[in-house]
């Protein structure tokens, strides 16, 4: 039976292993797609095209392209959204200003993952870079600062914003000095972000549940099709 295969952002883990073993430079990282039923690429502080410093990024981009080419479900969040977009030919650049904190996105097209969403929804942002829309992709959402907040390309869904954040994860972020520095530079504060999270999270939670549950269901369907193909 095929389980939901999830490939998470692994660059920091690779770096930690390298340091522990006194490896000065990692030349290549290979990720095997195999028979996983879906791929999830999450966020991180690096740029999506920082291949020289983080060689795992190129492996993740290759993995995303390979998954999309066979119709395997792919989900990208923040950096993951950018990795998928650039792997599909989009351009990456620095935004006009960091987008950090809660702000509205406008839903500009329909997607079955977003069937419960209103036209405008306040979500949590935390990014500097932005991507263009890959050729042939369906734009799903935008904000005042970022034209491509969500898109669909075949079996892939990219979301620049953060639906995965829980109260516990938020506090972990706010314990990171680098993230607090970015938050303050964008004009925010810990107290403001906590208050905004408490206000908006009750409305976002069912939307997040729908997105992630729908993705998991699609992965399950894909896994079942793989199993049937093997048995046939």
Query: Which residues are tagged catalytic?
Result: 78, 162, 164
Q: How far apart are CA 137 and CA 228, in angstroms?
A: 30
CA distances from 46 to 9, 109, 182, 207, 214 (A): 11, 29, 14, 27, 28
Q: How far apart are CA 47 and CA 130, in angstroms?
A: 10
Local structure of residue 162 (DSSP, 8 states) = B
Q: Tokens at residue 48, please?
A: 């999506």
Of 195, 117, 227, 192, the closest CA to residue 161 belongs to 117
In sequence order, which residues have a C-beta less than 8 Å from that of residue 221 and are 6 or more positions away? Answer: none
Beta strands in the chain (DSSP E): 39-41, 74-77, 92-107, 120-131, 138-142, 150-153, 156-159
Beta strand pairing call for 150-153 and 156-159: antiparallel
């Amino acid at each position: 039976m095929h389980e939901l295969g999830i490939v998470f952002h692994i660059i920091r883990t690779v770096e930690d292993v390298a340091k522990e073993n006194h490896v000065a430079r990692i030349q290549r990282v290979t990720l095997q797609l195999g028979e996983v039923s879906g791929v999830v690429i999450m966020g991180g502080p690096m740029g999506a095209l920082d291949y020289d410093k983080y060689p795992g990024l190129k492996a993740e981009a290759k993995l995303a392209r390979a998954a999309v080419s066979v119709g395997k479900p792919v989900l990208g969040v923040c950096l993951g959204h950018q990795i998928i977009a650039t792997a599909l030919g989009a351009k990456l650049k620095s935004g006009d200003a960091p987008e950090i904190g809660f702000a509205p996105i406008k839903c500009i097209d329909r997607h079955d993952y977003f069937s419960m969403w209103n036209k405008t929804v306040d979500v949590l942002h935390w990014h500097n870079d932005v991507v263009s829309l890959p050729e042939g992709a369906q734009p799903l959402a935008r904000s005042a600062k970022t034209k491509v907040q969500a898109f669909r390309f075949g079996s892939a869904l990219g979301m620049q914003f953060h639906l995965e954040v829980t109260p516990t994860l938020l506090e972990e972020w706010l314990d990171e000095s680098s993230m607090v520095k970015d938050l303050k530079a964008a004009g925010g504060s810990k107290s403001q972000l906590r208050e905004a999270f408490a206000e908006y999270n009750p409305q976002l939670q069912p939307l997040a549940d729908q997105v992630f549950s729908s993705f998991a269901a699609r992965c399950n369907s894909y896994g079942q099709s793989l199993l049937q193909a093997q048995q046939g």
